[in-house]
Structure 1
Amino acid sequence: MTKPSTDPSAPEAALAVALEAGLRAAITHLNQGNIDAAASYAAALIGRYPMHPAVCQLSAQIALQRGDATLARRHIAQGLSLRPDHLPSLLIAGRAALADDAPAEALPHLLRACALSGNALEPSYLACVARLQVGAADAVTELGLLIQRAPGFAPAWIELAETMRKGGELQAALAALDRAIALDGNSARAHFQRGKVLHALGRKAEAADAFASAVSLEPRSREARLNLAIAQQELGGLGAAQATLEALVGAHPQDYDGWIQLGRVRQDRRDLPGAQAALRSALACRPDAAPAAVNLGIVLQEAGQPDAALAAYAHAYRVAPDTFGRIAQALCSGPRGRLWADLGALRALLASLGSPGNPGSTQD
């Protein structure tokens, strides 16, 4: 299918036809789940018709689905400047602001959507979410009223459960999540939140099952995979945890949490070269992450590379001096440890070695 013409000399009627064809193609790809193709059409459209409200709305929707909430907010702000009370655009603006961790900016859009829609379910629910996130005094009350009005609406039960979990009411949160799953068993978020509650209750095997259900329903969820791996590791399933984490970092190569957890699992499995590689990847994601540098030092020390270990420890000490106690303990531990009677001398050595660079890169 031909993308919309960008020739400024094209007749107005031809441009209108091209606009309609481009919008239709982008929407078709979006509905088919081909987000990259939809984004390609949207980019061509926004370049040619930056002031067209439908193009702005579509571009915002696609950006939001691709996880770029900041870009979505920019596109939808332009669209709302052209049609301020357009209900779908207000909902996209609210969702984008929530995804961008800006609930206070989402709330006005969502309250306006409530007013325009006669407090329809979707804007009312999203407004409740924004209220909860900004800590509004009436947030829980409004959520309770919404559940009374629509007891079969699973997302509201999930939101109630999360509020209860944060308040320490774990059994009540679990009951709310069971209700949500009974209403919508295909909600990955409900299974994920249930896993968090079960884990907090110490029911780790059930938590792992819940996280696994969330991953099967939403394979792209890095949070679900990470929590599944942690539960698997705690249950002693190191091989399963490693496979889960390798899938996670394969899909999200810049995921610091995934890499450092993979390093820990490989270390537990005595795969010291693999642990080193994972921890270096974690540091590539976050060069100033002291925990990854300390863990790398421990692994290098276990591998019989004391000088490289000291370089890693020095890097950790440079970026976070409060890690000194753990470093000193690690240096004295294990069969390859070193005893430092003069901690002042150790501090001076770490400070002298702690220059920016690739920690632990020297070999013995």
Structure 2
Amino acid sequence: MTDVANMIRDAVDHHLAGDLDCAEDRYHRILRRDPDNPGVLHLLGALAHQRGRDDEAVDLLRRAIAVDDSVAEFHNTFGAVLHALGRSDESLNAYRKAILLKPDYAEAYNNIAMVWQSRASFSKAVAYYERAVQLAPDSGDIHYNLGNALRSEGRLSEAADEYAKALKLKPDHAESHNNLGMTRREQGQIDRAIECYKRAIRLNPGCARFHSNLASALQHQGRLAEAIVHCERAIGLDPGSAEGHYNLGSALRDAGRCDEAIEQNNLAIRLRPDYAEAHWN
């Protein structure tokens, strides 16, 4: 058993380092010696899920749970795989089992909330995220998720507070800056939104969506030359985006560059023939 324990440590080290090929090979070697090792079955299932092989992951996790159904983490991972497969009712059941086994399991509460959020049941999502935050107040990710659910409910002030908490814990989280910017925009605080978008872009200049959001806010303020620059950057990063071409067309139209605007709208329509706004413009 000492040998197997050492092999597991080595495999996990490779897994955590992102060397998935090596980790997978080592997990299989262990299972050849100890085919019903529930921990390794779970780890291999988690790795299969990472690699997008979710049907295989389900089989491995079922085997792990059949050997030992008392480990909350097994059920939590099983829930994540089922959710990825679109089997959300089964996913909820797996997460609930995890919480029965481990009542202070913040990650499982967070994952239940994500299922409800994916179903647009935002009030249920908020309730589970709030419980997760109580259990793990130092998790920037959970504060961010709660902010998203609150924003979807139109509770903008509370959403902004959660994004601010997320950023206090993870100041380099570009998505939190972006989503705080979107919240400020919805609150009518355009200057503050622009600052948030700029911070997001400094952290992740390769995200087309951030440039589009900044361009829209700048256009709203009449800062058309700047808006056009960021629309063009967004298209450079994602040339297949119909929305990107439409946004550039809108900014060009406001700037009086009508021929160029028409060209961009036509490109948007070619990319998405049912794009009603582009037809209208």
TM-score band by shorter chain is: 0.7 to 0.9
Match for 1:133 among 84, 98, 101?
84
Q: Percent identity, aligned pairs only?
A: 23
Aligned partners of 1:54 and 1:79 also within 8 Å: no
Larger of the two Rg values belongs to structure: 1
Partner of 1:191: 143
Q: Secondary structure at the match of 2:205?
A: coil
In the aligned structure 2, how far is the partner of 1:105 from the partner of 1:211? Answer: 36
Q: How far does the alpha carbon of each residue in 1:30-84 deviate from its partner, in whole angstroms, 9 at most, with x for none?
A: xxxxxxxxxxxxxxxxxxxxxx987665343222xxxxxxxx5434322323323
In the aligned structure 1, how far is the partner of 2:48 from the partner of 2:203? Answer: 25
Partner of 1:121: 72
Q: Secondary structure at the match of 1:288?
A: coil
Q: Secondary structure at the match of 2:17?
A: helix
- Look up the equivalent residue of 1:79 and give its one-letter code: R
Structure 1 residue ranges without an equivalent (≥5): 1-51, 64-71, 331-364
Q: CA RMSD in A?
A: 2.8
Partner of 2:160: 208
In the aligned structure 2, how far is the partner of 1:136 from the partner of 1:231? Answer: 29
Match for 2:17 among 58, 62, 67?
62
Partner of 2:4: none
Match for 2:248 among 278, 296, 305?
296
Rate the CA distance shift 1:199–1:279 in 2: closer, same or farther, 3 A: same
Aligned partners of 1:95 and 1:106 also within 8 Å: yes
Q: How far does the alpha carbon of each residue in 1:166-221 deviate from its partner, in whole angstroms, 9 at most, with x for none?
A: 34443333222222111110122321221122122211111121122223323444
TM-score normalised by the chain length of structure 2: 0.82
- Look up the equivalent residue of 1:230 and give its one-letter code: M
In the aligned structure 2, how far is the partner of 1:223 from the partner of 1:95? Answer: 25
Rate the CA distance shift 1:210–1:126 in 2: closer, same or farther, 3 A: same
Structure 2 residue ranges without an equivalent (≥5): 1-6
- Look up the equivalent residue of 1:177 and give its one-letter code: Y
Identify, as 1 or 2, the structure richer in helix. 2
TM-score normalised by the chain length of structure 1: 0.65
In the aligned structure 2, how far is the partner of 1:88 from the partner of 1:80? Answer: 10
Aligned partners of 1:61 and 1:92 also within 8 Å: no
In the aligned structure 2, how far is the partner of 1:167 from the partner of 1:271? Answer: 38
Match for 2:169 among 194, 217, 224?
217
How many residues are aligned here?
A: 270
Rate the CA distance shift 1:130–1:220 in 2: closer, same or farther, 3 A: farther
Q: How far does the alpha carbon of each residue in 1:228-253 deviate from its partner, in whole angstroms, 9 at most, with x for none?
A: 22111111222222222222222223
Q: Secondary structure at the match of 2:274?
A: helix
